[in-house]
């Protein structure tokens, strides 16, 4: 196939206007290629019919992967997505537009981003939210870079808890590996919670930022306020890795004292999609705005006094400040924030609260059923929002067995975290019947 639309006559007349005889002449300045060999790329292309057939084959090759009851979490969750999401986000006025560089021709995009900033700030509890980062992990790393800049590079110690998502920690280490003379410290855990005494010991005047996870990777709600107070008392910046669904019923990270909030926005109306695209949440307190990475939209007026929106404080960004920019980020994940905006509008104030209640009830139901069945649960029972770590032998084997039985019962933590176990995520999409099936399965295969 091709998507060009010039006729032979068009080409001839255009070449004449240009003053060359052939298209080849337009490429005289390119070095000659050494080969015509493009390996496995087909020569003549494929039709739509052929493409559909081919990709359906790939789809089938996933086998059962497509049809499992999903109890997997670990950063990506099988949440409900309303049908208006794809109906509205697939409007090509949204997805075939680019970054709103000409605000008069992009008021739709700009108002959307601004409304996203507003709604996401409600969930993070911090007043300034940018137009998005790539994902939770890269946002988490950028938060530490931001903390470093806020202290003008003078504070060189970066602390995180071992209960943070291991992918976030890995990306953080990648981003920081060539910063000179810095120190990265991991705070160990006790019974699935950050060791607060160890944190206290490590905190000093040289500490720029401390990264904690809310809830933590085990799904546990830690004593955040106690820790953010300790961190701030030492003049450091508390950074959250955050699952936005918790703000339906629990305190926002801003309320808990965090000053930079990052996280994966997938659970807000985005499909799991084998991990992407999703978007990274990035919210900060007002005083930090000049060091914020990424795009920001402000409300303003046009010259007739009409409400309008523009990108603002662009002097932080790479296209103006180049090497002095707050980040190199340019393309972000705007279309995914549109999905989040539609989602947050749809669930609304009451629905979001009920959603959180439902998740907590289903989680409590799962815990009760599991305990009745004699399945052990790790860590503190009164600190579970929607992820439960079951203390079962050989979680990896249980996962494979589960798949044969039509369900993905949870994530084996071995190799990811210090403690092993099978981590099961509950969302509003799971039914009592599905949970009963899970518990039956764990009782049989899990303990057997």
Partner 1 sequence: MDKTRELIFEMSSRGVENIFLGHEEFNEAPLIEEKFLASEKADLPQVGELDIVRHYTNLSKLNFSIDANFYPLGSCTMKYNPKINEEIASFRGFVSLHPMLPETTVQGMLELLYTGGEYLKEISGLPGVSLLPAAGAHGELAGNFIFAKYFNDRNEIRTKMLIPDSAHGTNPASAIMAGFQPVEIPSDENGDIDLKALREAMDESVAGIMMTQPNTLGIFDSNFKKVAQIVHERGGLVYMDGANMNAMLCHVKPGEIGVDIMHFNLHKTFSTPHGMGGPGAGPICVSGELTEYLPVPVIGKDQSGTFHMEGNIPRSVGRMTEGYGNIGVILKALVYMMALGVEGLKDATDIAVLNANYVKVSLEKHYHLHFKGLCKHECVFDNSFQKDKGIRTLDIAKRLLDYGLHAPTVYFPLTVKEAIMVEPTETESKRSLDRFIQVMTKIAGECNDSPELLKNAPTKTPVRRLDETQAARNPILKWERGEQ
Indicate the residue among 242 and 309 with the shorter CB distance to partner 1. 309
Closest Cα to residue 266, out of 283, 278, 248, 276?
A: 278
Q: What are the backbone dihedrals phi and psi of residue 321, each rounded to the nearest 5 degrees, phi first?
A: -90, -10
Rounded Cα distance, 338 and 333, in Å: 9
User: Closer to partner 1 at the Cβ: 185 or 250?
Assistant: 250
Q: What are phi and psi of 172, to 5 degrees?
A: -55, -45
The strands making up 128-129's β-sheet, listed across from edge to edge, are: 128-129, 280-284, 260-264, 237-242, 207-214, 157-161, 183-187
Of 237 and 425, the one with the shorter C-beta distance to partner 1 is: 425
Instruction: Determine how many CB atoms are found less than 10 A away from the CB of residue 97.
Output: 14
Of 203 and 268, which CB lies nearer to partner 1 in the complex structure?
A: 268
Between residues 165 and 216, which has the closer beta carbon with respect to partner 1?
Answer: 165
The CB-of-274 to partner 1 minimum distance in angstroms stands at 4
The least CB distance from residue 29 to partner 1, in Å, is: 5
Least separation in angstroms between CB 217 and partner 1? 12
- For the bound state, the minimum distance from the C-beta of residue 232 to partner 1, rounded and expressed in Å, comes to 19
Question: Shortest Cβ distance from residue 218 to partner 1 (Å)?
Answer: 14
| Cβ nearer to partner 1, comparing 74 with 209 | 74
Torsion of CA 396, 398, 401, 407, to 10 degrees: -100
Element (H, E) at 136: helix 136-150
Cβ at position 315, least distance to partner 1 in Å:
8
Give dist(CA 157, CA 183) in Å, integer: 5
User: DSSP characters for 388-422?
Assistant: EEE--S-HHHHHHHHHHTTEE--EE-BTTBSS--E
What size, in residues, is the chain?
448
Measured from the CB atom, is 194 or 327 closer to partner 1? 327
Distance CA(277)–CA(271), nearest Å, equals 9
Selection from 332, 299, 298 nearest residue 318 by Cα: 332
CA angle 258, 263, 264 (to 5 degrees): 165
CB of 201 to partner 1, least distance (A): 26
Q: Which is closer to partner 1, CB of 203 or CB of 362? A: 362
Give the contacts of 183 (CB within 8 A, at least 6 positions apart): 156, 157, 158, 206
* C-alpha distances out from residue 123 to 134, 261, 358, 375, Å: 19, 10, 18, 34
* CB neighbourhood size of 211 (10 A): 26
Taking the complex as a whole, the smallest distance from the CB of residue 436 to partner 1 amounts, in Å, to: 13
Taking the complex as a whole, the smallest distance from the CB of residue 229 to partner 1 amounts, in Å, to 14
User: Closer to partner 1 at the Cβ: 107 or 206?
Assistant: 107
């Amino acid at each position: 196939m091709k998507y060009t639309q010039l006729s032979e006559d068009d080409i001839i007349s255009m070449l004449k206007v240009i003053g060359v005889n052939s298209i080849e002449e337009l490429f005289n300045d390119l070095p000659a290629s050494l080969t015509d060999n493009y390996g496995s790329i087909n020569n003549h292309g494929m039709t739509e019919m052929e493409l559909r057939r081919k990709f359906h084959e790939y789809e089938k090759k996933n086998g059962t992967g497509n049809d499992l009851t999903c109890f997997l979490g670990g950063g990506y969750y099988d949440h409900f997505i309303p049908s208006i999401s794809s109906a509205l986000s697939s409007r090509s006025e949204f997805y075939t537009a680019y970054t709103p560089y000409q605000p008069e021709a992009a008021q739709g995009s700009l108002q959307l981003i601004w409304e996203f900033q507003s709604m996401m700030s409600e969930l993070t509890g911090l007043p300034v939210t940018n137009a998005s980062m790539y994902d939770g992990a890269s946002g988490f790393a950028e938060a530490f870079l931001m903390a470093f800049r806020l202290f003008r590079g003078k504070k060189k110690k970066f602390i995180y808890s071992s209960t943070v998502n291991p992918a976030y920690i890995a990306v953080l280490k990648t981003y920081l590996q060539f910063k000179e003379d810095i120190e990265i410290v991991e705070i160990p855990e006790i019974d699935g919670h950050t060791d607060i005494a160890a944190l206290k010991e490590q905190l000093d005047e040289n500490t720029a930022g401390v990264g904690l996870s809310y809830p933590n990777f085990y799904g546990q709600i830690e004593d955040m306020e106690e820790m953010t107070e300790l961190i701030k008392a030492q003049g450091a910046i508390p950074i959250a890795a955050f699952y936005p669904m918790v703000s339906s019923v629990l305190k926002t990270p801003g309320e808990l004292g965090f000053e930079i909030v990052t996280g994966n926005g997938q659970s807000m109306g985005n499909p799991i999609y084998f991990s992407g695209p999703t978007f990274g949440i990035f919210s900060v307190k007002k005083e930090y705005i000049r060091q914020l990475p990424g795009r920001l939209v402000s409300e303003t007026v046009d010259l007739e006094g009409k409400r309008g929106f523009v990108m603002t404080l662009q002097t932080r960004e790479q296209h103006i400040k180049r090497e002095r920019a707050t980040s190199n980020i340019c393309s972000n994940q705007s279309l995914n924030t549109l999905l989040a905006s539609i989602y947050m509008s749809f669930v609304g104030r009451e629905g979001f609260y009920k959603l959180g209640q439902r998740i907590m009830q289903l989680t409590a139901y799962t815990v009760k059923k599991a305990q009745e069945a004699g399945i052990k649960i790790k860590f503190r029972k009164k600190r579970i929002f929607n992820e439960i770590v079951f203390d079962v032998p050989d979680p990896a084997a249980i996962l494979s067995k589960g798949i044969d039985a039509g369900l993905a019962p949870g994530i084996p933590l071995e190799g990811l975290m210090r403690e092993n176990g099978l981590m099961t995520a509950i969302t509003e999409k799971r039914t009592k019947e599905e949970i009963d099936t899970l518990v039956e399965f764990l009782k049989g295969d899990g303990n057997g």
